[in-house]
Structure 1
Amino acid sequence: MGMLGRTATDRITVVSQDAHRFVRARHAHPQAQLIYAIGGVVSVTAPAGTWVVPPSRAVWVPAGIEHETKSYATVQFRALLIDPAEAKGLPDACAVVEVTPLLRELILRLAALAETPRDVEFSCAVTRLLLLELAFLPVEPLNLPTPQHMQLARFCDWIQSDPVRAVSLEEAASALHMSRSSFMRLFRRETGLSFAHWRQQARLLHALSLLAEGQSILNVALACGYDSPSAFSAMFRRSLGRSPSEYFGNFAGGQGRS
Protein backbone atom coordinates (compact mmCIF):
# COMPACT_ATOMS: atom_id res chain seq x y z
CA MET A 1 0.00 0.00 0.00
CA GLY A 2 1.33 3.48 -0.81
CA MET A 3 1.82 6.33 1.61
CA LEU A 4 -1.52 7.87 2.52
CA GLY A 5 -2.40 10.82 4.71
CA ARG A 6 -5.81 11.33 6.31
CA THR A 7 -6.99 13.97 8.73
CA ALA A 8 -7.69 12.71 12.25
CA THR A 9 -8.52 16.14 13.70
CA ASP A 10 -8.13 19.70 12.44
CA ARG A 11 -4.60 19.70 13.87
CA ILE A 12 -3.40 16.11 13.28
CA THR A 13 -2.96 14.12 10.07
CA VAL A 14 -2.16 10.39 10.10
CA VAL A 15 0.21 9.04 7.42
CA SER A 16 0.08 5.26 6.80
CA GLN A 17 2.56 3.08 4.94
CA ASP A 18 2.51 -0.74 4.79
CA ALA A 19 5.28 -2.09 2.57
CA HIS A 20 8.16 -4.53 2.30
CA ARG A 21 10.61 -1.63 2.30
CA PHE A 22 10.31 2.09 1.77
CA VAL A 23 12.53 5.15 1.53
CA ARG A 24 11.31 8.73 1.76
CA ALA A 25 13.92 11.17 0.46
CA ARG A 26 14.95 14.14 2.58
CA HIS A 27 12.02 16.46 3.23
CA ALA A 28 10.49 18.65 5.94
CA HIS A 29 7.01 19.33 7.31
CA PRO A 30 5.49 22.51 8.72
CA GLN A 31 4.09 20.22 11.44
CA ALA A 32 5.89 18.20 14.10
CA GLN A 33 5.92 14.45 13.45
CA LEU A 34 5.73 11.31 15.55
CA ILE A 35 7.05 8.38 13.50
CA TYR A 36 6.05 4.91 14.68
CA ALA A 37 6.33 1.41 13.19
CA ILE A 38 3.64 -1.02 14.33
CA GLY A 39 5.91 -3.78 13.04
CA GLY A 40 9.46 -3.63 11.67
CA VAL A 41 12.27 -1.13 12.20
CA VAL A 42 12.39 2.47 10.94
CA SER A 43 15.35 4.82 10.72
CA VAL A 44 15.19 8.60 10.57
CA THR A 45 18.20 10.63 9.43
CA ALA A 46 18.39 14.38 10.05
CA PRO A 47 21.31 16.86 10.02
CA ALA A 48 22.01 16.12 13.71
CA GLY A 49 22.21 12.34 13.30
CA THR A 50 20.38 9.07 12.73
CA TRP A 51 17.74 7.41 14.92
CA VAL A 52 16.85 3.71 14.53
CA VAL A 53 13.78 2.37 16.29
CA PRO A 54 11.91 -0.94 16.65
CA PRO A 55 8.14 -1.18 17.37
CA SER A 56 8.57 -0.41 21.06
CA ARG A 57 9.90 3.06 20.22
CA ALA A 58 9.01 6.08 18.07
CA VAL A 59 10.93 9.07 16.71
CA TRP A 60 9.87 12.63 17.46
CA VAL A 61 10.75 15.10 14.66
CA PRO A 62 10.01 18.77 15.41
CA ALA A 63 8.44 21.00 12.75
CA GLY A 64 10.70 22.22 9.95
CA ILE A 65 13.55 19.73 10.43
CA GLU A 66 14.70 18.09 7.20
CA HIS A 67 14.85 14.30 7.51
CA GLU A 68 14.93 11.07 5.53
CA THR A 69 12.88 8.05 6.58
CA LYS A 70 13.41 4.43 5.59
CA SER A 71 12.45 0.97 6.75
CA TYR A 72 14.25 -2.34 7.09
CA ALA A 73 12.40 -5.39 5.77
CA THR A 74 8.60 -5.45 6.08
CA VAL A 75 7.14 -2.54 7.98
CA GLN A 76 3.77 -1.21 9.11
CA PHE A 77 4.40 2.48 9.55
CA ARG A 78 2.22 5.21 11.06
CA ALA A 79 3.18 8.86 11.41
CA LEU A 80 1.27 11.66 13.08
CA LEU A 81 1.72 15.16 11.63
CA ILE A 82 0.94 17.46 14.54
CA ASP A 83 0.26 21.19 14.35
CA PRO A 84 3.03 23.07 16.23
CA ALA A 85 0.37 24.68 18.44
CA GLU A 86 -0.41 21.21 19.81
CA ALA A 87 3.25 20.37 20.39
CA LYS A 88 4.15 23.09 22.86
CA GLY A 89 6.39 21.81 25.64
CA LEU A 90 7.62 18.84 23.60
CA PRO A 91 11.28 18.49 22.51
CA ASP A 92 12.63 20.96 19.94
CA ALA A 93 15.16 18.37 18.69
CA CYS A 94 14.71 14.87 17.26
CA ALA A 95 14.42 12.22 19.96
CA VAL A 96 13.44 8.60 20.54
CA VAL A 97 10.62 7.93 23.00
CA GLU A 98 9.26 4.73 24.45
CA VAL A 99 5.90 3.61 23.08
CA THR A 100 3.91 2.43 26.09
CA PRO A 101 0.88 0.17 25.56
CA LEU A 102 -1.35 3.22 26.10
CA LEU A 103 0.55 5.37 23.59
CA ARG A 104 0.43 2.56 21.02
CA GLU A 105 -3.33 2.21 21.36
CA LEU A 106 -3.81 5.98 21.11
CA ILE A 107 -1.77 6.11 17.88
CA LEU A 108 -3.79 3.25 16.43
CA ARG A 109 -7.05 4.82 17.56
CA LEU A 110 -6.20 8.11 15.84
CA ALA A 111 -5.33 6.19 12.67
CA ALA A 112 -8.69 4.41 12.86
CA LEU A 113 -10.53 7.70 13.45
CA ALA A 114 -8.87 9.13 10.34
CA GLU A 115 -10.32 6.24 8.29
CA THR A 116 -13.94 6.71 9.35
CA PRO A 117 -16.40 9.54 10.02
CA ARG A 118 -15.37 10.91 13.38
CA ASP A 119 -16.72 12.46 16.50
CA VAL A 120 -14.62 15.64 16.69
CA GLU A 121 -14.85 15.92 20.48
CA PHE A 122 -13.72 12.32 20.96
CA SER A 123 -10.86 12.73 18.44
CA CYS A 124 -9.64 15.85 20.25
CA ALA A 125 -9.77 14.01 23.59
CA VAL A 126 -7.66 11.15 22.16
CA THR A 127 -5.20 13.73 20.81
CA ARG A 128 -4.88 15.49 24.16
CA LEU A 129 -4.28 12.22 26.00
CA LEU A 130 -1.72 11.11 23.39
CA LEU A 131 0.28 14.32 23.76
CA LEU A 132 0.18 14.08 27.56
CA GLU A 133 1.40 10.49 27.43
CA LEU A 134 4.16 11.46 24.99
CA ALA A 135 5.34 14.43 27.01
CA PHE A 136 6.36 12.40 30.06
CA LEU A 137 8.19 9.52 28.37
CA PRO A 138 11.96 9.04 28.69
CA VAL A 139 14.27 9.72 25.76
CA GLU A 140 16.49 6.74 24.88
CA PRO A 141 20.05 6.63 23.45
CA LEU A 142 19.14 5.19 20.03
CA ASN A 143 20.68 7.94 17.95
CA LEU A 144 24.02 8.37 16.21
CA PRO A 145 25.17 12.02 16.20
CA THR A 146 26.55 13.40 12.93
CA PRO A 147 29.60 15.72 13.22
CA GLN A 148 29.39 19.10 11.48
CA HIS A 149 33.19 19.16 11.01
CA MET A 150 33.58 18.14 7.34
CA GLN A 151 36.66 15.90 7.64
CA LEU A 152 35.35 14.22 10.78
CA ALA A 153 31.94 13.65 9.16
CA ARG A 154 33.62 11.93 6.20
CA PHE A 155 35.68 9.81 8.58
CA CYS A 156 32.53 8.80 10.51
CA ASP A 157 30.79 7.86 7.24
CA TRP A 158 33.76 5.63 6.45
CA ILE A 159 33.52 3.94 9.85
CA GLN A 160 29.76 3.44 9.45
CA SER A 161 30.16 1.91 6.00
CA ASP A 162 32.00 -1.08 7.48
CA PRO A 163 31.02 -1.84 11.12
CA VAL A 164 33.38 -4.84 11.17
CA ARG A 165 36.40 -2.59 10.71
CA ALA A 166 38.49 -2.20 13.87
CA VAL A 167 39.97 1.29 14.16
CA SER A 168 41.98 2.32 17.20
CA LEU A 169 41.92 5.82 18.63
CA GLU A 170 45.49 6.31 17.44
CA GLU A 171 44.56 5.27 13.89
CA ALA A 172 41.55 7.57 13.94
CA ALA A 173 43.65 10.54 15.06
CA SER A 174 46.26 9.77 12.41
CA ALA A 175 43.58 9.64 9.69
CA LEU A 176 42.68 13.26 10.49
CA HIS A 177 46.36 14.27 10.94
CA MET A 178 45.79 15.12 14.60
CA SER A 179 47.31 14.22 17.90
CA ARG A 180 45.40 11.72 20.01
CA SER A 181 44.30 14.38 22.50
CA SER A 182 43.22 16.85 19.79
CA PHE A 183 41.14 14.17 18.08
CA MET A 184 39.48 13.19 21.35
CA ARG A 185 38.55 16.82 22.10
CA LEU A 186 37.22 17.41 18.57
CA PHE A 187 35.21 14.19 18.54
CA ARG A 188 33.51 14.87 21.86
CA ARG A 189 32.82 18.49 20.95
CA GLU A 190 31.22 17.48 17.65
CA THR A 191 29.21 14.43 18.82
CA GLY A 192 28.92 14.63 22.59
CA LEU A 193 30.38 11.09 22.76
CA SER A 194 33.79 9.50 23.03
CA PHE A 195 35.06 7.81 19.86
CA ALA A 196 34.65 4.35 21.45
CA HIS A 197 31.06 5.11 22.54
CA TRP A 198 30.14 6.50 19.11
CA ARG A 199 31.56 3.44 17.34
CA GLN A 200 29.65 1.10 19.67
CA GLN A 201 26.49 3.12 19.03
CA ALA A 202 27.01 2.81 15.25
CA ARG A 203 27.29 -0.96 15.61
CA LEU A 204 24.21 -1.12 17.84
CA LEU A 205 22.02 0.75 15.35
CA HIS A 206 23.33 -1.38 12.48
CA ALA A 207 22.49 -4.47 14.55
CA LEU A 208 18.90 -3.29 15.05
CA SER A 209 18.40 -3.05 11.29
CA LEU A 210 19.84 -6.55 10.74
CA LEU A 211 17.72 -8.05 13.52
CA ALA A 212 14.65 -6.50 11.90
CA GLU A 213 15.51 -8.41 8.72
CA GLY A 214 15.39 -11.67 10.69
CA GLN A 215 19.13 -12.37 10.76
CA SER A 216 20.46 -14.65 13.47
CA ILE A 217 22.39 -13.45 16.49
CA LEU A 218 25.53 -15.12 15.08
CA ASN A 219 25.26 -13.33 11.73
CA VAL A 220 24.51 -9.99 13.37
CA ALA A 221 27.40 -10.34 15.82
CA LEU A 222 29.89 -11.05 13.01
CA ALA A 223 28.45 -8.29 10.78
CA CYS A 224 28.94 -5.79 13.61
CA GLY A 225 32.53 -6.76 14.41
CA TYR A 226 31.98 -8.96 17.48
CA ASP A 227 33.89 -12.19 17.95
CA SER A 228 30.95 -14.15 19.35
CA PRO A 229 27.16 -14.00 19.83
CA SER A 230 27.66 -13.81 23.59
CA ALA A 231 29.89 -10.72 23.31
CA PHE A 232 27.34 -9.04 21.05
CA SER A 233 24.40 -9.95 23.32
CA ALA A 234 26.29 -8.63 26.35
CA MET A 235 26.86 -5.27 24.58
CA PHE A 236 23.20 -5.14 23.53
CA ARG A 237 22.02 -5.81 27.07
CA ARG A 238 24.40 -3.22 28.56
CA SER A 239 23.21 -0.61 26.07
CA LEU A 240 19.46 -1.25 26.10
CA GLY A 241 18.88 -3.19 29.30
CA ARG A 242 17.51 -6.29 27.58
CA SER A 243 18.61 -9.09 25.27
CA PRO A 244 17.75 -8.68 21.55
CA SER A 245 14.73 -11.01 21.80
CA GLU A 246 13.43 -9.26 24.92
CA TYR A 247 13.89 -5.86 23.30
CA PHE A 248 11.94 -6.77 20.18
CA GLY A 249 9.39 -8.73 22.22
CA ASN A 250 6.46 -10.08 20.29
CA PHE A 251 7.39 -7.97 17.26
CA ALA A 252 10.60 -9.92 16.52
CA GLY A 253 10.05 -11.63 13.21
CA GLY A 254 13.41 -13.32 12.74
CA GLN A 255 14.66 -16.71 13.81
CA GLY A 256 17.56 -17.65 15.98
CA ARG A 257 17.55 -14.67 18.32
CA SER A 258 18.67 -15.11 21.89
Structure 2
Amino acid sequence: MKSQSGRLGRRVVRPSGRTGVERISDRSKVTRLRYQIIHDGIPALRNTLPDPYDHIPRSVVVTANDYPAGTTFPEHAHGRGQFAFASRGTISVSTPHGRWLVPPQRACWVPPGVRHEMTMTGAVTMLNTFVSDDAARAAGLPDQCGVYGVSPLLRQLIDDAIELPAMYDVDGRAGKLMALLVAEIATMPRLSLHAPLPADARLASICRHLFASPSIATDLDQVATHAGVSRRTFTRLFRAQTGVSFAAWRQQVCMLAAITRLSDGQPVTRVALELGYASASAFTSAFRRILGDTPSRYLEVRR
Protein backbone atom coordinates (compact mmCIF):
# COMPACT_ATOMS: atom_id res chain seq x y z
CA MET A 1 0.00 0.00 0.00
CA LYS A 2 1.32 3.43 -0.91
CA SER A 3 0.44 6.94 0.11
CA GLN A 4 -0.54 9.51 -2.48
CA SER A 5 3.09 10.56 -2.74
CA GLY A 6 4.10 7.07 -3.87
CA ARG A 7 5.97 6.38 -0.64
CA LEU A 8 5.17 3.49 1.62
CA GLY A 9 2.80 4.64 4.33
CA ARG A 10 1.98 3.63 7.86
CA ARG A 11 -0.54 0.79 7.80
CA VAL A 12 -3.08 1.19 10.59
CA VAL A 13 -5.33 -1.63 11.77
CA ARG A 14 -8.49 0.02 13.01
CA PRO A 15 -10.95 -1.53 15.52
CA SER A 16 -13.71 -0.98 12.96
CA GLY A 17 -12.05 -3.50 10.67
CA ARG A 18 -10.94 -0.85 8.18
CA THR A 19 -7.42 -0.34 7.04
CA GLY A 20 -5.92 3.07 6.39
CA VAL A 21 -2.61 4.69 5.68
CA GLU A 22 -1.03 7.63 7.43
CA ARG A 23 2.03 9.40 6.17
CA ILE A 24 4.24 11.00 8.80
CA SER A 25 5.83 14.07 7.30
CA ASP A 26 7.74 15.09 10.41
CA ARG A 27 9.81 12.33 12.06
CA SER A 28 9.71 14.23 15.36
CA LYS A 29 5.98 13.37 15.36
CA VAL A 30 5.12 16.96 16.26
CA THR A 31 3.46 17.55 12.90
CA ARG A 32 1.55 14.71 11.28
CA LEU A 33 0.02 14.69 7.84
CA ARG A 34 -2.61 11.97 7.61
CA TYR A 35 -3.80 10.64 4.28
CA GLN A 36 -7.12 8.99 5.03
CA ILE A 37 -7.09 6.33 2.35
CA ILE A 38 -9.74 3.98 3.69
CA HIS A 39 -10.73 0.66 2.17
CA ASP A 40 -13.94 -0.82 3.58
CA GLY A 41 -14.40 -4.53 3.95
CA ILE A 42 -10.78 -5.39 4.76
CA PRO A 43 -10.80 -7.29 8.09
CA ALA A 44 -8.36 -6.13 10.76
CA LEU A 45 -7.67 -9.71 11.88
CA ARG A 46 -7.22 -12.48 9.37
CA ASN A 47 -6.25 -16.13 9.65
CA THR A 48 -3.67 -15.69 6.90
CA LEU A 49 -1.76 -12.46 6.58
CA PRO A 50 0.48 -12.57 3.48
CA ASP A 51 3.37 -10.17 3.18
CA PRO A 52 1.44 -7.02 2.17
CA TYR A 53 4.31 -5.94 -0.07
CA ASP A 54 5.14 -9.32 -1.58
CA HIS A 55 4.33 -8.03 -5.06
CA ILE A 56 6.98 -5.29 -4.93
CA PRO A 57 10.06 -6.39 -6.94
CA ARG A 58 12.51 -5.41 -4.22
CA SER A 59 14.34 -7.81 -1.91
CA VAL A 60 13.94 -5.53 1.13
CA VAL A 61 10.86 -3.49 2.07
CA VAL A 62 10.46 -1.43 5.25
CA THR A 63 7.08 -0.39 6.65
CA ALA A 64 5.69 1.24 9.80
CA ASN A 65 2.55 -0.01 11.52
CA ASP A 66 0.52 1.38 14.43
CA TYR A 67 -1.66 -1.04 16.42
CA PRO A 68 -4.01 -0.40 19.36
CA ALA A 69 -3.51 -2.25 22.66
CA GLY A 70 -4.65 -5.86 22.58
CA THR A 71 -4.40 -6.30 18.82
CA THR A 72 -3.75 -9.95 17.98
CA PHE A 73 -2.84 -11.40 14.61
CA PRO A 74 -3.74 -15.13 14.64
CA GLU A 75 -1.24 -17.64 13.32
CA HIS A 76 -0.02 -16.65 9.87
CA ALA A 77 3.15 -16.65 7.78
CA HIS A 78 4.94 -14.26 5.43
CA GLY A 79 6.72 -15.04 2.19
CA ARG A 80 9.55 -12.81 3.40
CA GLY A 81 11.43 -12.81 6.68
CA GLN A 82 10.15 -10.19 9.14
CA PHE A 83 12.37 -8.12 11.42
CA ALA A 84 9.76 -6.52 13.68
CA PHE A 85 11.15 -3.60 15.70
CA ALA A 86 8.99 -2.46 18.64
CA SER A 87 9.58 1.27 18.48
CA ARG A 88 6.84 1.65 21.10
CA GLY A 89 5.01 -0.95 23.17
CA THR A 90 5.65 -4.66 23.70
CA ILE A 91 5.02 -7.50 21.25
CA SER A 92 4.49 -11.17 22.12
CA VAL A 93 5.35 -13.66 19.36
CA SER A 94 4.29 -17.31 19.51
CA THR A 95 5.13 -20.19 17.18
CA PRO A 96 4.67 -23.97 17.50
CA HIS A 97 8.20 -24.01 18.96
CA GLY A 98 7.96 -21.41 21.70
CA ARG A 99 7.22 -17.88 22.80
CA TRP A 100 9.27 -14.70 22.45
CA LEU A 101 8.77 -11.30 24.06
CA VAL A 102 9.83 -8.11 22.28
CA PRO A 103 10.17 -5.17 24.72
CA PRO A 104 10.25 -1.55 23.52
CA GLN A 105 13.32 -0.72 21.43
CA ARG A 106 14.02 -4.39 20.69
CA ALA A 107 13.15 -6.54 17.66
CA CYS A 108 12.10 -10.07 16.74
CA TRP A 109 13.27 -11.92 13.65
CA VAL A 110 10.73 -14.31 12.10
CA PRO A 111 12.24 -16.26 9.17
CA PRO A 112 10.37 -16.60 5.85
CA GLY A 113 7.51 -19.09 5.98
CA VAL A 114 7.46 -19.51 9.77
CA ARG A 115 3.92 -19.56 11.13
CA HIS A 116 3.51 -17.21 14.07
CA GLU A 117 1.00 -15.28 16.15
CA MET A 118 1.56 -11.70 17.34
CA THR A 119 -0.11 -9.90 20.25
CA MET A 120 0.38 -6.24 21.18
CA THR A 121 0.70 -5.16 24.81
CA GLY A 122 -0.24 -1.52 25.00
CA ALA A 123 -0.30 0.68 21.92
CA VAL A 124 2.45 -0.53 19.59
CA THR A 125 4.40 1.14 16.83
CA MET A 126 6.07 -1.64 14.84
CA LEU A 127 8.69 -0.91 12.22
CA ASN A 128 8.96 -3.93 9.94
CA THR A 129 11.81 -4.88 7.66
CA PHE A 130 10.61 -7.56 5.24
CA VAL A 131 13.53 -9.48 3.69
CA SER A 132 13.21 -11.91 0.79
CA ASP A 133 14.29 -15.50 1.35
CA ASP A 134 17.29 -15.12 -0.98
CA ALA A 135 18.44 -11.87 0.66
CA ALA A 136 18.02 -13.35 4.15
CA ARG A 137 20.16 -16.36 3.27
CA ALA A 138 22.78 -14.23 1.55
CA ALA A 139 23.08 -12.06 4.67
CA GLY A 140 23.33 -15.10 6.94
CA LEU A 141 20.16 -14.26 8.85
CA PRO A 142 19.11 -17.11 11.16
CA ASP A 143 16.56 -19.77 10.24
CA GLN A 144 14.99 -19.64 13.71
CA CYS A 145 13.02 -16.95 15.53
CA GLY A 146 14.84 -14.78 18.03
CA VAL A 147 14.73 -11.45 19.89
CA TYR A 148 17.56 -9.04 19.17
CA GLY A 149 19.04 -5.80 20.35
CA VAL A 150 18.78 -2.83 17.99
CA SER A 151 21.75 -0.48 17.63
CA PRO A 152 21.35 3.31 17.16
CA LEU A 153 22.68 2.87 13.62
CA LEU A 154 20.07 0.23 12.80
CA ARG A 155 17.28 2.39 14.23
CA GLN A 156 18.39 5.28 12.02
CA LEU A 157 18.63 3.06 8.95
CA ILE A 158 15.09 1.79 9.53
CA ASP A 159 13.80 5.34 10.00
CA ASP A 160 15.47 6.43 6.77
CA ALA A 161 14.21 3.39 4.87
CA ILE A 162 10.59 4.12 5.80
CA GLU A 163 10.80 7.35 3.79
CA LEU A 164 11.94 5.64 0.59
CA PRO A 165 9.58 5.22 -2.36
CA ALA A 166 8.25 1.71 -2.88
CA MET A 167 10.20 1.31 -6.13
CA TYR A 168 13.50 2.67 -4.84
CA ASP A 169 16.59 2.56 -7.03
CA VAL A 170 18.42 -0.63 -6.11
CA ASP A 171 21.60 0.63 -7.78
CA GLY A 172 21.55 4.03 -6.08
CA ARG A 173 21.81 5.35 -2.53
CA ALA A 174 18.52 3.71 -1.51
CA GLY A 175 19.72 0.27 -2.57
CA LYS A 176 22.96 0.72 -0.63
CA LEU A 177 20.98 1.86 2.42
CA MET A 178 18.82 -1.27 2.29
CA ALA A 179 21.87 -3.51 1.89
CA LEU A 180 23.52 -1.88 4.90
CA LEU A 181 20.30 -2.23 6.89
CA VAL A 182 20.16 -6.01 6.31
CA ALA A 183 23.89 -6.35 7.04
CA GLU A 184 23.38 -4.48 10.32
CA ILE A 185 20.47 -6.75 11.30
CA ALA A 186 22.80 -9.73 10.86
CA THR A 187 25.20 -8.34 13.48
CA MET A 188 22.65 -7.62 16.23
CA PRO A 189 23.06 -9.44 19.57
CA ARG A 190 20.53 -12.14 20.38
CA LEU A 191 18.68 -11.64 23.68
CA SER A 192 17.44 -14.25 26.14
CA LEU A 193 13.73 -13.43 25.88
CA HIS A 194 12.50 -16.82 24.74
CA ALA A 195 10.72 -19.77 26.34
CA PRO A 196 10.92 -22.85 24.08
CA LEU A 197 8.14 -25.42 23.81
CA PRO A 198 9.00 -29.13 24.09
CA ALA A 199 7.89 -31.42 21.26
CA ASP A 200 6.25 -33.95 23.60
CA ALA A 201 2.51 -33.18 23.64
CA ARG A 202 2.21 -33.89 27.37
CA LEU A 203 4.99 -31.50 28.28
CA ALA A 204 3.85 -28.89 25.76
CA SER A 205 0.37 -28.90 27.32
CA ILE A 206 1.88 -28.18 30.74
CA CYS A 207 3.98 -25.37 29.26
CA ARG A 208 1.01 -23.72 27.57
CA HIS A 209 -0.86 -23.78 30.88
CA LEU A 210 2.11 -22.08 32.55
CA PHE A 211 2.28 -19.48 29.78
CA ALA A 212 -1.30 -18.58 30.72
CA SER A 213 -0.73 -18.73 34.50
CA PRO A 214 2.99 -18.28 35.23
CA SER A 215 4.28 -18.75 38.77
CA ILE A 216 7.76 -19.25 40.15
CA ALA A 217 6.15 -21.47 42.80
CA THR A 218 4.97 -24.07 40.26
CA ASP A 219 5.97 -27.44 41.70
CA LEU A 220 7.98 -29.87 39.57
CA ASP A 221 6.42 -32.96 41.14
CA GLN A 222 2.92 -31.64 40.46
CA VAL A 223 3.57 -30.86 36.81
CA ALA A 224 5.19 -34.28 36.32
CA THR A 225 2.10 -35.89 37.82
CA HIS A 226 -0.16 -33.84 35.55
CA ALA A 227 1.93 -34.97 32.58
CA GLY A 228 1.51 -38.59 33.68
CA VAL A 229 5.23 -39.29 34.06
CA SER A 230 7.71 -39.60 36.89
CA ARG A 231 9.71 -36.61 38.09
CA ARG A 232 12.86 -38.16 36.64
CA THR A 233 11.29 -38.81 33.22
CA PHE A 234 9.79 -35.32 33.11
CA THR A 235 13.13 -33.71 33.96
CA ARG A 236 15.01 -35.79 31.39
CA LEU A 237 12.52 -35.17 28.58
CA PHE A 238 12.19 -31.48 29.35
CA ARG A 239 15.90 -30.78 29.23
CA ALA A 240 16.40 -32.93 26.13
CA GLN A 241 13.65 -31.13 24.21
CA THR A 242 14.14 -27.53 25.36
CA GLY A 243 17.84 -27.41 26.22
CA VAL A 244 17.16 -26.02 29.70
CA SER A 245 15.99 -27.33 33.06
CA PHE A 246 12.37 -26.92 34.08
CA ALA A 247 13.42 -24.52 36.86
CA ALA A 248 15.28 -22.29 34.39
CA TRP A 249 12.37 -22.42 31.94
CA ARG A 250 9.87 -21.55 34.68
CA GLN A 251 12.01 -18.57 35.68
CA GLN A 252 12.20 -17.41 32.07
CA VAL A 253 8.42 -17.60 31.63
CA CYS A 254 8.00 -15.51 34.78
CA MET A 255 10.43 -12.90 33.46
CA LEU A 256 8.57 -12.69 30.14
CA ALA A 257 5.29 -12.25 32.01
CA ALA A 258 6.88 -9.66 34.29
CA ILE A 259 8.11 -7.52 31.39
CA THR A 260 4.65 -7.58 29.81
CA ARG A 261 2.90 -6.61 33.05
CA LEU A 262 5.43 -3.95 34.02
CA SER A 263 5.24 -2.46 30.52
CA ASP A 264 1.48 -2.28 31.04
CA GLY A 265 2.02 -0.11 34.12
CA GLN A 266 1.49 -2.66 36.89
CA PRO A 267 3.50 -1.94 40.09
CA VAL A 268 6.52 -4.09 40.89
CA THR A 269 5.11 -5.44 44.17
CA ARG A 270 1.90 -6.59 42.53
CA VAL A 271 3.77 -8.27 39.68
CA ALA A 272 6.16 -9.97 42.10
CA LEU A 273 3.43 -11.41 44.31
CA GLU A 274 1.20 -12.49 41.41
CA LEU A 275 4.14 -14.39 39.92
CA GLY A 276 4.70 -16.25 43.19
CA TYR A 277 7.79 -14.48 44.51
CA ALA A 278 8.03 -14.13 48.29
CA SER A 279 8.66 -10.40 48.09
CA ALA A 280 9.33 -7.53 45.72
CA SER A 281 13.01 -7.64 46.67
CA ALA A 282 13.26 -11.36 45.80
CA PHE A 283 11.66 -10.64 42.44
CA THR A 284 13.92 -7.64 41.78
CA SER A 285 16.99 -9.73 42.61
CA ALA A 286 15.94 -12.46 40.15
CA PHE A 287 15.07 -9.86 37.50
CA ARG A 288 18.48 -8.19 37.82
CA ARG A 289 20.30 -11.53 37.70
CA ILE A 290 18.54 -12.65 34.51
CA LEU A 291 18.03 -9.38 32.63
CA GLY A 292 20.94 -7.34 33.96
CA ASP A 293 18.94 -4.45 35.45
CA THR A 294 16.28 -3.63 38.02
CA PRO A 295 12.71 -3.67 36.67
CA SER A 296 12.37 0.12 36.76
CA ARG A 297 15.72 0.73 35.10
CA TYR A 298 15.13 -1.98 32.49
CA LEU A 299 11.90 -0.35 31.35
CA GLU A 300 13.22 3.22 31.63
CA VAL A 301 16.13 2.71 29.24
CA ARG A 302 13.87 1.00 26.68
CA ARG A 303 11.17 3.66 26.51
TM-score (norm 2): 0.77
Shift of 1:98: 0.6
Identity %: 38
Cα shift at 1:130: 1.4
**1:235-250 → structure 2 map (5 Å cutoff):** 235-250=286-301
- Matched with 1:255 is none
- 1:41 aligns to what? 90
SS of equivalent residue, structure 2 residue 247: helix
Write the distance in 2 (CA, Å) between the matches of 1:164 and 1:228: 13
Q: State the 1:9 CA deviation.
A: 7.7
Which of 85, 109, 115 lines up with 1:66 in the alignment? 115
Distance (whole Å) between structure 1 residues aligned to residue 58 and residue 124 of structure 2? 27
Give the C-alpha shift of residue 250 in structure 1.
4.5
Aligned partners of 2:83 and 2:110 also within 8 Å? yes
Identify if the C-alpha distance between structure 1 residues 249 and 55 changes in structure 2 by more than 3 Å, giving closer, same or farther: same
Deviation at 1:119, TM superposition (A): 5.3
**Which string of whole-angstrom CA distances, capped at 9 and with x for unpartnered residues, describes residues 195-234 of structure 1?**
1011111111111111121111112212222122211111
Task: Tell me how far apart the structure 1 counterparts of residues 90 and 243 of structure 2 sit (CA, whole Å).
Answer: 25
Flag the structure with larger Rg: 2
Q: Report if aligned partners of 1:6, 1:14 keep a CA contact under 8 Å in 2.
A: no
- Check if 1:192 corresponds to 2:240: no
Query: What secondary structure sits across from 1:59 in the alignment?
Result: strand
2-11 or 211-220, larger mean C-alpha shift = 2-11
2:68 is aligned with 1:20: yes
Please show how residues 1-258 of structure 1 align to structure 2 within 5 Å. Answer: 1-2=12-13, 10-21=58-69, 22-88=71-137, 89-114=140-165, 118=168, 120=170, 121-164=172-215, 166-252=217-303
* CA-based RMSD: 2.1
- The question of whether the paired residues in 2 share the 8 Å contact of 1:9 and 1:124 is answered with no
SS at match of 2:123: strand
| Partner Cα distance (1:106, 1:54) in 2 | 20
**Residue type of the partner of 1:235?**
A
5+ long unaligned stretches in structure 2? 1-11, 14-18, 22-51
Select the structure that is richer in helix: 1
Give the secondary-structure state (helix, strand or coil) at the position aligned to 2:87.
strand
- Compare relative contact order (CA 8 Å, sep 6+) and give the higher one, 1 or 2: 1
Structure 1 gaps, min length 5 = 253-258
Whichever residue aligns with residue 179 of structure 1, its letter is S
The separation in 2 between residues aligned to 1:11 and 1:196, in whole angstroms, is 42
